[in-house]
Structure 1
């Protein structure tokens, strides 16, 4: 294990310990929230690193499966504890915000910084095209329950059943996507698209760290959610803005950083893959899974019914990112446009 990895582990453990102590000591809500958010980011980095180390021993296909299963672990725990606390509005906004943040803000920053440093960047267009089409399907799946609710169709009385059916369909689509990816169709997934990671951790150490970071993510997520509502009240932040911006960015910090770093290194294929796949996993796995789990958690019941503005924000994020990836190239000006769109959408939710 490299020295920088040991330092990261030590800092994450110390941050989690301080956050736990501060939570039980009852410190100021805003201080607690900042500590919990920082701890959540550090734990997410550890989970990502351990998943990468484990996946490097199993090949690219298995790595993709592991990343889809474990990469969003901290955000999954945050959403579970938020649902148990009755914060379903925050959870909806956080899930849409994660898609919006990845597809618009992070994608825009990657294109901007990568373009400024390396000029026009090129990438294989087929994999992101497939992701974009699946994201359009996910948006359509979420739009149907929303329209059913606002148009008061006969299905409105059966919204819970409709949500479950939509969730199951999306999970099945993701299963088909995984099967397709594992088979590695060369016309869509180029053979040189996957970059191998150096294995610097032994297998026992990797498994121990992965298990410990998973447990740590559960505790830190609980503290994060407990501090969330008091901090929002103190700062005057509404539920939707907190979920859409704050929770979404904190829960996806590691993927955000990785995508931008890859673009700076002129590895546009990998950058686009990380960013697009993160959004896809949230839409096809995390959101549907939480819909089903919410019926057993004992808190708020999550639904695909979104507010009109959230649905419009989701549509914009999916369509704009699809337009950019379809030609297989990007320039820094497109990044500026995406970041501008994110700021406009975020501002619209500042007042609720």
Structure 2
């Protein structure tokens, strides 16, 4: 404990308390709303500590090793929620939550970051090279969702082979992501810039690894409890599964990264804010989605393919195009931010009724 500063101890203690509250509400069957809220807060706390511990590893590992750890570990809570949801047969929730995660990062939070940063600093200027690369990969990922959906809607021969097609797309996306990661690391960049969470006080290597292992175990438990409370909570709130996944689950799963992006933009660090938000969206599209496809075939339960409701595919495609247009010139202001947020509200409203 002496290796941790007071703020670290407070955050970890609060997270332990939230996990304990989530466990108590789950095992005592305190009610779906209380259990859902407790699990949501616990997931956010675990995600925050995982982010801190992963960044602390950067003080002991090389840039490439740190980048790989960040890519593999940073999305554990969201990945476990999706795996347990698939096991419970909530395929529509998983589809909507993954797409909602991309939309929340690329539209809602990036837009809010531009609004806050533009209000405090005027026009935000950032390096346009990384956003262009991420936008091109997002378009590839969207195509991997859009084309199988079109094949299904148009009743093409490929529609009878959803699972093999999904596996091929998953392997392609993972290979492209590996090439992108190699290129970024050779340029001295990390998957998520360490400055986003950097702390002056460094943890010992053993402490960082131990915290990561404990948080990974906690993420498994809380994700399972979260999914068990999810369907009753959806019924209690009177929400459709699509809206719950697209908005509620997606925002809850990315709460910490959302706060980080807005805080960086408010501090005038536009490069970091844009990188954090777009990289978070990209990791969902080209890492979590392919991994879920491959995992779902081996664990039983509902198989996860890339055939999604056409309106979700269209909303994702339009959103990525708008983000590309807004960020391609390396400048953004409050108007750009308001436009991104407005598009998110329109898409969310469409799915309010299911």
Shared topology, TM-score over 0.5?
yes
Shift of 1:67: 1.6
**TM-score for the superposition, normalised by structure 1:** 0.96
Q: 2:333 aligns to what? A: 331
- Is the 1:194–1:270 Cα contact (8 Å) retained in structure 2? no
Q: 1:252 aligns to what? A: 254
- Is the 2:162–2:306 Cα contact (8 Å) retained in structure 1? no
Instruction: Write the mapping of 1:310-329 to structure 2, written as runs, cut at 5 A.
Output: 310-329=312-331
Instruction: Write the mapping of 1:201-280 to structure 2, written as runs, cut at 5 A.
Output: 201-280=203-282
Shift of 1:142: 1.2
2:90 counterpart (87, 91, 97): 87
Instruction: Write the mapping of 1:1-352 to structure 2, written as runs, cut at 5 A.
Output: 1-184=4-187, 195=195, 197-352=199-354
C-alpha distance in structure 2 between counterparts of 1:141 and 1:225, whole Å: 27
Once the two structures are superposed, residues 192-234 of structure 1 have per-residue CA deviations (whole angstroms, 9 ceiling, x without a partner) of x864653421111111111001100110111100000001011
C-alpha distance in structure 2 between counterparts of 1:221 and 1:96, whole Å: 19
- Is the 1:56–1:197 Cα contact (8 Å) retained in structure 2? no
- How many residue pairs get matched? 347
C-alpha distance in structure 1 between counterparts of 2:21 and 2:161, whole Å: 46
Shift of 1:65: 1.9
- Is the 1:2–1:200 Cα contact (8 Å) retained in structure 2? no
- Secondary structure in structure 2 of the residue aligned to 1:294: helix
- Is the 1:56–1:199 Cα contact (8 Å) retained in structure 2? no
Segments of 5+ residues of structure 2 without an aligned counterpart are none
C-alpha distance in structure 2 between counterparts of 1:317 and 1:214, whole Å: 32
Report the aligned-residue RMSD: 1.4
- Is the 1:61–1:181 Cα contact (8 Å) retained in structure 2? no
- Secondary structure in structure 2 of the residue aligned to 1:333: helix
C-alpha distance in structure 2 between counterparts of 1:224 and 1:297, whole Å: 19
**TM-score for the superposition, normalised by structure 2:** 0.95
The 1:328/1:250 distance shift into structure 2, 3 A limit, reads same
C-alpha distance in structure 1 between counterparts of 2:67 and 2:263, whole Å: 19
C-alpha distance in structure 1 between counterparts of 2:261 and 2:61, whole Å: 22
Shift of 1:55: 2.3
- Is the 2:170–2:293 Cα contact (8 Å) retained in structure 1? yes
C-alpha distance in structure 2 between counterparts of 1:202 and 1:333, whole Å: 44
- Secondary structure in structure 1 of the residue aligned to 2:299: coil
